[in-house]
Structures are given as C-alpha cells and as structure tokens.
Copies of this chain bind each other. A is one copy, B any other.
Amino acid sequence: MKPFPDSSQDTRQRLLEAAILVFAEKGFDGAGIREIALKAKANSALVQYYFGSKEGLYTAALKFLFEQGPDAVGGLTPPPAPDEPEARSKALASLRNYVRAFLEDLFACRDPEQFSREMHSAVHLFWTREMMEPAPERVDMIRAHIQPHVDYLNACIRALRPDLDEEGQFLMGCSIHAQIMFFHRDMAMIALLRSEAYGARDMDRLATHITDFSIRGLGLGSTLQGV
C-alpha cells in the first residue's frame, strides 16, 4: 500500500482544482496558498513542490482550463463560407446557435461531463479576470483560447455581410460578443437594477433577444418601424 492512497497525480489535481475555485472567487492577490491547500486537503508546501510558486500554480490552472475546460464552440457545426449555397440562412442559424451555446456555457446550463457545476461557473470568472488584465507571460495562451470563438463569429459575419471590409466585420463581432459577455459579467449590476438576476431559466429569452438584436444590428432582418 502507498502511504497516501493514489497520491501523486491525485494530490496535484486536487490542488489544481481547488486553485481554480479560489482564484476564480478571489483573484490572484485575494487568494492565499493556505486557503487553496486547505480546500484541497493538502499541505501548502506542495504548491512549491508541484508548481514552483503561486504564480506557477495560477498559470498551471489557466493552462489546465485551456486544455480541459468547457468549449462552447467545439460542439457547433461550422459556419458556412460566403460563397456556399444558402450561405445567409445557414449563417443565421450558426449565429443563433453560437449565441445560445456561448450563453449556456457562461451560465453553466449544460450537463456537467467532467466538471462540476461549481467548477464550470468558476471557469468563466477565472477567464474574465484574465481577459480584462492579461499578464504578458500568458497572452499567447489567452489568444489561443479565444481564437476559435472569434473565428467562428467572424465566419458568420463574413457570410452575412460579405460587403463589409475587415474592420467593419470586426466591429460587428465586437458588438455581438459585448452583449453575450455583458449578461455574464454584469449580472451583479443587473440584479441591482431589476432586484432579480437572470439565471439559467431565462436563457431562452436572453439568447433570443441578443440574436434578434444582433441580426437587426447587422443590417438584416425586418425593420419593425420606419424612421
């Protein structure tokens, strides 16, 4: 028998997962190694043993999420090329699916496969922090993580508005992504104004609103009222 059953990899993993939860909740400065180790039921010195430093643990956690974390884009059918037949209607469907999948991912609506629901929602808190203030030594990792999202949305926009130049399409993508992320990051603020936060139950309403607003914003769809 081993002294500590199935130690090694298991303990390292427990530290990693505890780190994700605590870092997500309190940020890098706010989180303490002792607190992480306590949650992982491990000794705090093991952080140095396995990851070299607190910074190393943070980077390892981010890398783990990058490789193992939930991927909203992965399960979607790829958007059509601009010259494909019926590109526009296909792209509209892709856009609608994308908004829906991204939102479900952010709100941790989907069935937990390898991640608990608690982990799942912590992942995005983690990413949000890192995306707002990217550390120079982690920009490549971050870019690689968001690139599929950007590419997917860009392909939709290219099929829907091939007449726009690259910058125009980029701005359209910003407007759409802005809305999706707003409902995740500013939910505390929304709850302050509505006295009730949106949750998993309101996913349909939110996804429909964002998609419809964006389709009209792209210059497509029906105009309800003239100027």
A contact residues vs B (CB 8 Å cutoff): 26-27, 29-30, 88-89, 92, 131-134, 139, 142-143, 146, 150, 161, 170-172, 174-175, 177-179, 181-183, 185-186, 188-190, 192-194, 205-206, 209-210, 213-214, 216-227
Contact = CB atoms under 8 A, between A and B. Distances in A.
Interface centre among A134, A206, A225 (most CB of B within 10 A): A225
A92 B227 contact: yes
B221 A227 contact: yes
A46 B186 CA distance: 35
B216 A219 contact: yes
A217 B174 CA distance: 14
A218 B217 CA distance: 8
A187 to B, nearest CB: 9
A139 B29 CA distance: 23
Contacts of A188: 131-134
Contact of A217 (B27, B194, B214, B222): B214
Q: 4 shortest A-B CB distances, which residue pairs? A: A178-B182, A219-B224, A217-B217, A213-B217
**Number of chain copies forming the complex:** 2
Contact of A223 (B142, B171, B223): B223
B224 A193 contact: no
A139 B192 contact: yes
B209 A175 contact: yes
Contacts of A143: 192-193
A200 to B, nearest CB: 17
A192 B181 CA distance: 17
Contacts of A194: 170
30 contacts: A26-B29, A27-B27, A29-B30, A89-B227, A92-B227, A131-B186, A133-B188, A134-B188, A134-B189, A146-B189, A150-B193, A170-B193, A170-B194, A171-B205, A171-B206, A174-B190, A175-B182, A175-B209, A178-B181, A178-B186, A181-B182, A182-B182, A213-B217, A216-B217, A216-B219, A216-B223, A219-B225, A220-B224, A222-B223, A222-B227
